[in-house]
Amino acid sequence: MAAVRIAVLLPVMGVAIFNLVHRAETLSPAPVDPTSAAMDHVMKQEKRFGDLRRSLERRGLSGAIGYMGNSTAEDPHSTEDYYLAQFALVPWVLDRHLESCEWVVANLGSSAAISNLPPSWQVAEDFGDGLLLLKRSAP
């Protein structure tokens, strides 16, 4: 009786293993070309802040850096922009209180907003698209 069970069980196990291997080969996902994948909002911001990040590293800046953004009632995305900027610039801490900061990241959304900068700040570097690195020019 044991010999009959083994004789029946071995072919069943062989077919089961063959089916598992065949199924695993046919279910493999197709490779994805990362250049064709759509960029999400976070990835776009990381790319946008890339040159700024390199500039901060090159200047040897560390710790807290001021942050100036579009914080108007008409712009409901200003808080989201702040958090995306903070995420993209870690380990630097972005501080909205500019009084104690020598350097400021200005995330203004457009280059046209540069004319509205406070007089105590000068543009140290312009990264385009309203993204600036400012340095305090007068206390």
Q: Count the domains in the chain.
A: 1
Using one digit for the tens of pLDDT, what is the confidence trace for 100-122?
899 999 998 766 667 777 788 89
**pLDDT for 78-88, tens place per residue?**
788 899 999 99
Residue 23 lies in a domain: no
pTM for the model stands at: 0.66
Domain that holds residue 113: 41-136
Structure confidence at residue 77 as a pLDDT band (50, 70, 90):
low
Residue 89: name the closest of 52, 124, 59, 61 by CA: 52
Top pLDDT among 100 and 58 is at: 58
77 assigned to some structural domain? yes
Q: With beta carbons less than 8 A apart as the criterion, state whether 103 and 62 touch.
A: no
Nearest-10 Cα torsion for 39, 41, 47, 53: -160
Report yes or no on 90 lying in a domain.
Answer: yes
